[in-house]
């Protein structure tokens, strides 16, 4: 990889500065090893890593993966900490929050929507913060179940509401385009905490609202 390419990345991800720019004494750095591994992968797949179109591919792959996993750079719970003095005792539902994540088994994308509901006690956070929360846990090497649980537990921990319910619906490219090749399969996961554990009526309200088309 060219040093100017690595400078660009180390500016964007300053915490990786040492790893990205450590080329002293001709040591084999982690970046060099990564680049060699990508070239080996290209060879194993039957192509030539030295051909023009693939020359910059190790850099592009590194850049893309650092972006796919940007969630590791910040604790997503921090987004919930700014709360507002709004009096509201019922459900707050934020639905159809789009996300893209990366399956930890195959490094292939899984993507879909998260629906988040909570019934506050005292703390209410900004609506956009739920999108930031989802993004923070999605941009990691993930499985859908953990993504769902982490979102719900973060809300429970920071906002201490009466109850939290999270439903995630996603398509996994590792199931669509390879392996079992079931292109239309959608996986749904849920996490229910607090009052939602014992109140089927509140769960029914949430499920009926997330099925409603449009909110206008
Ligand atoms: N539970 C769960 N499984 C997932 C998720 N993403 C991918 N998987 C599954 O992870 C499993 C990995 O299975 P393995 O047998 O170790 O790997 P594999 O040989 O590539 O499996 P196949 O996909 O069946 O070809 C597969 O069944 C995937 O469908 C997820 O978010 N949650
Ligand atoms: Zn997978």
Q: pTM above the 0.90 mark?
A: yes
Q: Is 105 part of the annotated catalytic residue set?
A: yes
φ, ψ (nearest 5 deg) of residue 91: -70, 140
Q: What is the pLDDT along the chain (216 residues), one digit of tens a residue?
A: 888 888 888 899 988 888 887 665 555 678 888 999 999 999 999 999 999 999 999 999 999 999 999 999 999 999 999 999 899 999 999 999 999 999 999 999 999 999 999 999 999 999 999 999 999 999 999 999 999 999 999 999 999 999 999 999 999 999 999 999 999 999 999 999 999 999 999 999 999 999 987 655
CB within 6 Å of ligand 1 — which residues? 103, 105, 143-145, 172, 174-175, 179-180
Domain ranges (residues) in the chain:
3-68, 78-211
Nearest CA to ligand 1 atom 31: 143
3-state secondary structure of 33: helix
SS3 readout for 88-156? CCCCEEEEEEEEEEEECCCCCEEEEEEEEEEECCCCEECHHHHHHHHHHHHCCEECHHHHHHHHHHHHH
Separation of CA 99 from chain center: 7
Q: What is the ipTM of this complex?
A: 0.94
* d(CA 100, ligand 2 centre) in Å: 13
Nearest CA to ligand 1 atom 3: 143
Domain 78-211 has CATH 3.50.50.60: no
φ, ψ (nearest 5 deg) of residue 83: -120, 165
Of the candidates 100, 85, 181, 112, the one whose C-alpha atom is nearest the C-alpha of residue 137 is 100
Q: Which CATH architecture has domain 3-68?
A: Orthogonal Bundle (1.10)
Ligand 1 atom with the smallest distance to the CA of 170 is 31
Query: Which single residue is written with the structure tokens 């934020």?
Result: 94
């Amino acid at each position: 990889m060219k040093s100017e390419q690595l400078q660009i990345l180390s500016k964007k991800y300053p915490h990786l500065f040492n790893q990205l720019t450590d080329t002293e004494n001709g040591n084999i750095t982690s970046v060099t090893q990564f680049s060699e591994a990508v070239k080996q992968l290209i060879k194993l797949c039957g192509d030539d890593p030295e051909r023009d179109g693939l020359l910059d591919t190790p850099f592009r792959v590194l850049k893309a993966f650092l972006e796919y996993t940007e969630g590791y750079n910040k604790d997503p719970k921090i987004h919930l900490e700014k709360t507002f003095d709004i009096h509201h005792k019922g459900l707050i539902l934020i639905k159809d929050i789009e996300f893209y994540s990366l399956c930890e088994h195959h490094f292939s994308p899984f993507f879909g929507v998260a629906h988040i509901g909570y019934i506050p006690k005292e703390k209410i956070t900004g609506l956009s913060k739920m999108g930031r929360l989802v993004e923070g846990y999605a941009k990691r090497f993930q499985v859908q179940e953990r993504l769902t649980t982490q979102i719900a537990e973060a809300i429970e921990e920071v906002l201490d509401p009466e109850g939290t319910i999270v439903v995630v619906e996603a398509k996994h490219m590792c199931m669509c385009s390879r392996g079992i090749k079931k292109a239309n399969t959608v996986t749904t996961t849920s996490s229910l905490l607090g009052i939602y554990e014992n109140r089927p009526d509140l769960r029914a309200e949430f499920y009926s609202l997330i099925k409603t088309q449009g909110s206008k």
